Structure formats: C-alpha cells, structure tokens
Structure 1
Amino acid sequence: MKLDYIDCYLVHGPIHVSSIKQAAKGMAKCVEERMTKTVGVANYSVEDMLVMKEALAEHGVPLATNQCEYSVLRRMPEIEGMLEACSQHGIVFQLYSALAQGRLSGKYSRENPPPKEYRFSSYDMEHVEPALEVLRHLAAKYNVSVASVAMNWNIFARGQYPWWGSGRKARLSRTCKS
C-alpha cells in the first residue's frame, strides 16, 4: 500500500487461529511498532469484544472500534446490547451495510432481486418487502429516496454513522460525482 502506517487495523471476525489474547498481543505489537495508530475488531459479540478489550489493555492499548452490520433489517447490535456496551466502554461502534447490500436502497424488489454475489446481508427480498413498503411510504411522504430514509434511520434515529464503500470502481465514481 506504500504507507508508513494505517489508522486502524481490524481483526475481521472473532475466529482466530489462536486465542483472543494471542491476537491482542499481535495487534499491540503493531501499535508498538507504529504500523497502526489504533486497533479494532469486526463482528465480535459483546462478550468477545470485552475479552479483546481486556487483553489489549494488558499491553496498554485501547480497543478503538467494533465494526458490525446494522440496519433497519439487522438490529442485533441494538437488541443484544452492543451499542450500549460500546458506549459504556469508550469503543466506537462502526456500522456497515446500512442499506443491506442495496436491499434498502429502493433499487431492488421481490421481482428484481439483487445479484447472488453478495455474501452477507443476503436477506430474501420476500422478507425485506414489508420494511421496504414502510420505507417507500416515508420516502414518498417526504419526497426523498428510499435509501435516504434508511440512512436517516441509522444517523438520526439511532445516532450511528455508517462506514461505506464499494468493490466496484464504476459505483464509486457515480457516488463521488453525486
């Protein structure tokens, strides 16, 4: 990547070849050697996140973030106490897939499902349709896009700011021009 350091190094998922303590030791070494400024985790449960937090603390390194899927459709971080635990422990909750891989964008429907290439947020559109009906109603009422309503729910109703990106260059250039 031709960088001197990265801002945040994430362990992507709670499945380790070794223990959480061993993963924490390696992450702490990355901070110590100035390869990264901060460290975080992705898709950890509340319990595993707190174990990682304590393991990192043994090396004097704070756990900066836990990145999890969160949207109108996927509310587990809220229901299982992740949002509260992050807040209580000074860990930034970072959400991804706020539009459920486009399912909440208004682009797809039961008749026009998204491509099968997506590996997460892969909800059957038949099950998404009731939520989409509500989003469409609100979008029409406020004269905004369906995606705007879904993002509004995350940002204003829940106080959570999504991380976003795209694996397709064409999508990024369209987004950046908008």
Structure 2
Amino acid sequence: MSYGKFETPYLAAENRYEKIPYRRSGRSGLDLPAFSFGLWQKFGTDYPFETQREITLHAFDLGITHFDNADRYGPPHRAAQKNFGRVLAKDLAPYRDEIILSTKAGNPIGPSPYLQGGSRKSLLASLEHSLRDLGTDYVDIFYHHRQDDSTPLEETVGALASAVQQGKALYVGISNYSPERAHQAAGLLREAGVPLLVHQPRYSIFDRSIERNGLLETAERDGFGLVVYSPLAQGLLTDKYLETIPEGARATGSAFLSPAAITDTYRQRAAALNKLAESRGQSLAQLALQWVLRRPEVTSALVGASSTSQLDHNLKALEFPPLTDEELAIVDEHGIHGTGLNL
C-alpha cells in the first residue's frame, strides 16, 4: 500500500498484530512491541514530511504500536512531535486507542532555566507544549529525559505523578538514570501510587553499561521494564563502516558519531561480528538487535529508519533462531564495551 498521497485514506493492515511479538513491561499490565519506533533522528524539518509519514504508517502496519518522541527531537526542537502530530491527525486518529505514544522532557531545549532539568515547572510546562504539538489530550508514557541531580528527586517524581493524576499521561518513565537514582525514583513513585513503568537506557553489543552498573538487576527488583535505545550503536553495528565511511553517512555529520570512531580496531571487531551474523544467514544489524532482545529485562528495542525497506530489514531480526551459548561467547569476545563510543 502506498501512503504517498493524502487523497487516499489510510487503512491499517488487518494482520498487523500477527507480525511482531509483544512483551510485558516489568510488572505492569502493559505490553509493548518488541521493537518500538523512535523519532530521535530524521523526523525534523531537514527530511521530507512525506517520507516520514510513509515510514510511520508502515511501522504501524508492521505492528509497531509504540512511537517514542521527545520535546528535544528535531531539528528544530519539537519538530518531530509536530510532524508526528500531523500524521496522527490525518491518518492515525481512528487508531489512537491502539497507539502507545510517549514523549520526554528535561533535556535542554533552550537557554532558559525553565526549558531544561527536572523541576515541576520545566516538566509540566513541556508536557503542555507536547500535547499541543501532538494534537492529543494525553500521552501514554511521559518520561523525565535525563537525571537532574540539582533538583530534589521528590520534586521531579511529584511532577511525573501529577501528569498521571491530571489525566495527561497514563504511565511515567525515566531515561538515562543511574541504577541508584532509578531505584529511588521507583520507590517514590510507588509511594505516590504511580508505579514506574519503564526506564530508557542505551544498550548495545558495544555499550554494556547496563550489564556493568547493575541496572538490569534494578529493573528486575523494582519491576520496571527497559526500552533500550541505540541498539545499533549509531550505525557501528551495521556493515556500513566495515570498509570505508560512505559519503553522507551519519559519521560524516552527526554530533553522536565521529569519524574518529571508525578505527582499525573497531573494524576488526565489527568484521568478526559480521562474520558471525553471516554464518547465521543474517546481517550484523539483525544480529545486534536480536542480541539486545535476548535479555528478559528488555521490553522493547528502539529503532529508527530512513526508509520502509530499512524498517522491514530490521524487523526480520525476529525471524532467526535464538543465539546459542557458543555464538554469545563469540559476541562477547569481539563486542568489547566502549568500542567506537565515547564512554
């Protein structure tokens, strides 16, 4: 089905719930798709809206019901929310009850002290703007985007709880919190009657932080799920950089991936992982996605896409047999924590 013309009403694929498994988020009652769709990159004003629309609707046709946004996503800030809001109004409004829509606040979006941090002022004001951007009365998950040690955690948690109590969010989450701070937040939210649904950390074969710092155990103990971002390590866990840095690739113009990361050591490790993937009949990206989903604490992995074919390719990771102990040992041998990343 083509979504390229607004004159054609969008009808979601009838078999969309047969295409992807759903996993329970911690000890909540909410299921999320194994892959969630992130609008972190390529959903600002620098990419064609019609392409964004086509990818978004294709994701929903594939059973991806969770769309992850933030006030910071663009460029400029808030652009990704506004673009998704256009798709929601035009195409997805009849399916709003079938969509998990999340947004975040707290990462700086301007020089004002009220456009950043974990204060009640910053979080609740941002949520109001986000609801207008998205054209919806509520979001399903409202996150604090980044730990703010300068603000009392009780104030931050109180703002998140208020969002639920006011009917502007159904669940709350946190992102980029240390395990200790996450445990404290989970306890305070539990006392407020608004349990912590989910934590969003970075996790990949090249970034083992949550295995090393105890966050996996904290999630299990406190009953929240994990929605992991950057499972492909900003493209390092694909075959894109095995030989050279292609013109126009992310490493040539991204604040999150430098050409300096593409070292001989990185290429040696990535090539070994790619060889393992090929022996399994899959791509390195599919291996990397399958690897993060092997953990029961991980509810969902965030993926983006610049085309519908890329999205199809990534979701095929779900079709391969589980990694064996021998294969996991090979991943551990070559998937060294910190490879290519500024950790």
Which secondary structure state, in structure 2, belongs to the residue aligned with residue 53 of structure 1? helix
Whether contact under 8 Å (1:73, 1:128) holds in the other structure is no
Alpha-carbon distance change, 154 to 3 in structure 1, aligned in 2, over 3 angstroms: same
Unaligned runs of 5+ in 2: 1-133, 314-343
Q: Within 5 A, what are the aligned runs for 1:2-151? A: 2-15=135-148, 18-109=151-242, 111-112=244-245, 114-119=251-256, 124-126=261-263, 127-151=265-289
Whether contact under 8 Å (2:242, 2:271) holds in the other structure is no
Whether contact under 8 Å (1:14, 1:42) holds in the other structure is yes
Give how far 1:94 is off: 1.4
Equivalent residue letter for 1:34:
G
Q: TM-score, normalised by structure 2?
A: 0.47
Q: Which residue in 1 is equivalent to 2:303? A: 164
Alpha-carbon distance change, 94 to 23 in structure 1, aligned in 2, over 3 angstroms: same
Whose radius of gyration is greater, 1 or 2? 2
Q: For residues 148 and 48 of structure 1, what CA distance do their matches in structure 2 show?
A: 32
Whether contact under 8 Å (2:144, 2:175) holds in the other structure is yes
Whether contact under 8 Å (2:234, 2:256) holds in the other structure is no
Alpha-carbon distance change, 4 to 148 in structure 1, aligned in 2, over 3 angstroms: same
Whether contact under 8 Å (1:39, 1:64) holds in the other structure is yes
Q: For residues 121 and 79 of structure 1, what CA distance do their matches in structure 2 show?
A: 25
Q: Which residue in 2 is equivalent to 1:155? A: 293
Unaligned runs of 5+ in 1: none
Alpha-carbon distance change, 122 to 48 in structure 1, aligned in 2, over 3 angstroms: farther
CA deviations 1:47-98 (Å, max 9, x no partner) are 1101111222232111111100000000010111111110111110111100
Give how far 1:176 is off: 4.8
Equivalent residue letter for 1:164:
V
CA deviations 1:124-164 (Å, max 9, x no partner) are 122532431221111221221111111121123x3433122
Pairwise CA RMSD: 2.3
Which secondary structure state, in structure 1, belongs to the residue aligned with residue 226 of structure 2? strand
Whether contact under 8 Å (2:145, 2:175) holds in the other structure is yes
CA deviations 1:14-71 (Å, max 9, x no partner) are 0266221101111110000110000010010001101111222232111111100000
Whether contact under 8 Å (1:67, 1:96) holds in the other structure is yes
Task: Among all aligned residue pairs of Structure 1 and Structure 2, give the percentage whose two residues are the same amino acid.
Answer: 27
Equivalent residue letter for 2:241:
Y
CA deviations 1:86-125 (Å, max 9, x no partner) are 0111110111100011110111236317224142699812
